[in-house]
Structure 1
Amino acid sequence: MKKFTMGRGQTRMNADKIKNQKSKINPTLRRIIGYAFALAVLFFLGRLLVQTWDQIAASGFKFEFDLPRLLLSLILLIVARAFAVEAWRRVLLSFGERLDFAFGVRVWFLSNLTRYVPGNIWQVATMLVMVEQKGVSKTNALLSQVVYTALALAIAGLLGLMFFLMRPEILQGILDPGIVPYAPLIAVILFSALMIFFALPPVNRGLVALTARITRRAITAPTPTFARGLVPPIFSLLMWLTNGIAFYLFADSITPVAPANLLAFIAMNAGAYWIGYVSFITPSGLGFREGALAWMLASFFPAPVAVALALATRLWATAGELLGVLLVWISQMWEHK
């Protein structure tokens, strides 16, 4: 009987073939799983909304639609994105790269269109391609996004934790309710410490070294200074505060919300975003963000209202992004006239 053997070259070819097949299957499988999770969460939220909607009539809750407040909230979403662009631009400037603010806004809004693709990487990938057209190094652009994202998520996470200081009863006795009057002071202290931390030159150098290790590229950046490093955290904080105010106005445009709850709405908006971002399995945190937001909103409204507001918030945020894209498109048309 003739015995067949396989050489090393053939074995390697077969291994590469299997690896390539897996690489083609895995992204598709991850995408399907991501959308399945998102749809499952949205389904259960929707079912809860339908099953408990009769509670609204029993509680005497009323909706009062206010169009001017809604429009103002959408405008503030654009302003918040402008602060985010400036924070990112300042980080990019610290690496010796210059990018025009108007073009930065264009890049930001157009790349946002890819956020709903699973993986949370496509927005950055689109940004890299666009900024390269202006002569910005892809390596420095990637580094700036890593630093900016770390900064934005740190601030969002800390803001989210502030929600529990303002609504300690949601943790069922873990925190003393007497801490509520001190929440603003605690927030000021913690955010000051966070911004100083990110502005420190050793931290900046550490982020550069970490990014160089992850990307496996040699990265050289200008010598960081404390004053220059302090600017991006300030703009990033302004972004989250403005975005939170916009969210408060959006909720207030649907049903009256006491001004005393403004800080809590700023905190829950940032916290829900943080939870959605770190849930890499779903596109743009779809489902996870709504679930977290509904849970926090339930401390202010009946459960069906909280769920309805959480679901409507996604549509509202998307409308704000599309409004930004529309403004970018109009500005481009105006330039070409």
Structure 2
Amino acid sequence: MSVELRGMRIRDGFRALGRRRWVVVGLQLAAVAVLLGALAYAFRDAWEEAQPRLRHADPVELGIALAITAAYYLLFTIAWQRILRAWGIRIPYFLALQAEMASILAKYIPGTVWIPAARVAALRRAGIRDTALILASVILEAGLSAVAGVVIFFAALAAIGVEDAPILPLLAFTAVCVVGLHPRVFSPLARRVLKPFGASDFPPLPWRTLLGVMGFYGCTWLVGGAAVFFLLRSVGGDPEWTDIPYLGGVSAVAAIVAVLSIVTPSGLGVREASMYGLLVAIVPDGVALGATILNRLTITIVEAALLAVGAFAWKKRPDYTSVDPPAPQEE
């Protein structure tokens, strides 16, 4: 089958999905309703303990968690900028922040197509129209971040000795990511998959860039773990400072599950179930459930606030530089 024919079939598939988008939306909303109902029933005992903890949550600890969560997203955006810069696209920080937050919030809209579409649309408004390259950078960002998070999680498991963790599924997922992210695999695969969007070439990124970005993502997960640490404290938990790497790994695993769950918008319910199941290994049920609920509220509030900040700052600083993506040089 020719590349052109495959491209036409992919485009036809997207058009067919678009014509049936309300079916997809309905299925997702139904899945969310069923899942949340099942979770409410399963966690009814923990909810009785979590309710008073949530009502009397410490505002100082909660405020610290909000600030750290904001720092996590602000740092996360830098890594995506670095990926784009390695492919020759240089954008201002606040434009990158606006695009990043728009795509993250788009996860709440039923229909997974809105997630990459929001980021593409944000950059198109600034005159950057290389859709295939933007999509490839989003895939690379997700893969490198996921691998870094799993590494942090496994290292923390070995340090604190938590049992019954989903080790085998995570190992399988990580192996697939590592193979897929290898420059000799990622570049031709992305070129083939993104051909309908105008992909022509994706020069392999230097190993120094890939490992540097992945190491940076590992640091951001530790920041995310610190945010969960203070969320636990805000509802009366007493985690140890040494638990922060584990909490960062928990955040990473929950985020991975949310991304893989294409049925529920933003992994609503699925992410919370995963996070709760891992938190109860180190804190009581009520504390784990309270922190899990606050985590969803916290990340949503911060994402919306940073989207507004990025949009406002971008309007105040409209200059940007767009460079055709050259083959990256070995560093």
TM beyond 0.5? yes
Checking the alignment, whether the CA contact within 8 Å between 2:110 and 2:265 is kept in structure 1 is: yes
1:242 maps to a residue whose letter is V
Which residue, 67, 80, 83 being the options, matches 2:75? Answer: 83
Q: Runs of 5+ in structure 2 lacking a partner?
A: 1-12, 319-331
- 1:165-206 per-position Cα deviation (integer Å, ceiling 9, x unaligned): 35645429x99xxxxxxxxxxxxxx9xx99xx79xxx92243
- Number of equivalenced pairs: 295
Compare 119-128 and 94-103 and name the one that shifted more.
Answer: 119-128
Does the residue aligned with 2:182 lie in a helix, a strand or coil? helix
- Residue 22 of structure 1: how far off its partner (Å): 6.2
* Pair 1:152 & 2:145 matched: yes
| Structure number with bigger Rg | 1
Equivalent-residue separation in structure 1 for 2:184 and 2:253 (angstroms): 28
- Distance change >3 Å, CA 85–CA 205, structure 1 → 2: farther
Equivalent-residue separation in structure 2 for 1:154 and 1:220 (angstroms): 25
> What corresponds to 1:130 in structure 2?
122
> What corresponds to 1:183 in structure 2?
none
Equivalent-residue separation in structure 1 for 2:14 and 2:244 (angstroms): 51
* Pair 1:310 & 2:292 matched: yes
Equivalent-residue separation in structure 2 for 1:62 and 1:134 (angstroms): 42
> What corresponds to 1:239 in structure 2?
220
Which residue, 182, 194, 207 being the options, matches 1:203? Answer: 182
% identity of equivalent residues: 20
- Residue 109 of structure 1: how far off its partner (Å): 1.9
* Pair 1:139 & 2:132 matched: yes
1:37 maps to a residue whose letter is A
- 1:64-103 per-position Cα deviation (integer Å, ceiling 9, x unaligned): 6332222222122222112221111111111111111121
> What corresponds to 1:280 in structure 2?
262
Checking the alignment, whether the CA contact within 8 Å between 1:273 and 1:289 is kept in structure 2 is: yes
* Pair 1:36 & 2:23 matched: no
* Pair 1:301 & 2:308 matched: no
Equivalent-residue separation in structure 2 for 1:165 and 1:121 (angstroms): 38
> What corresponds to 1:182 in structure 2?
none
RMSD: 3.6
Checking the alignment, whether the CA contact within 8 Å between 2:69 and 2:298 is kept in structure 1 is: no
- Residue 111 of structure 1: how far off its partner (Å): 3.1
Compare 211-220 and 83-92 and name the one that shifted more.
Answer: 211-220
Does the residue aligned with 1:220 lie in a helix, a strand or coil? coil
Equivalent-residue separation in structure 2 for 1:214 and 1:62 (angstroms): 46
- Distance change >3 Å, CA 140–CA 84, structure 1 → 2: same
Equivalent-residue separation in structure 2 for 1:20 and 1:270 (angstroms): 30
- Distance change >3 Å, CA 32–CA 156, structure 1 → 2: farther
Does the residue aligned with 1:115 lie in a helix, a strand or coil? helix
Equivalent-residue separation in structure 2 for 1:209 and 1:45 (angstroms): 42
Correspondence 1:1-337 to 2 at 5 A: 23=17, 26-53=20-47, 65-136=57-128, 137-162=130-155, 164-165=157-158, 168=161, 170-171=163-164, 203-216=182-195, 217-222=198-203, 224-258=205-239, 259-331=241-313
Checking the alignment, whether the CA contact within 8 Å between 1:80 and 1:242 is kept in structure 2 is: yes
Equivalent-residue separation in structure 2 for 1:43 and 1:244 (angstroms): 28
Compare 139-148 and 127-136 and name the one that shifted more.
Answer: 127-136
Equivalent-residue separation in structure 1 for 2:141 and 2:275 (angstroms): 24
Does the residue aligned with 2:201 lie in a helix, a strand or coil? coil
Checking the alignment, whether the CA contact within 8 Å between 2:83 and 2:137 is kept in structure 1 is: yes
Q: Runs of 5+ in structure 1 lacking a partner?
A: 1-18, 176-189
> What corresponds to 2:4 in structure 1?
none
Equivalent-residue separation in structure 2 for 1:20 and 1:66 (angstroms): 47
Equivalent-residue separation in structure 2 for 1:322 and 1:163 (angstroms): 31
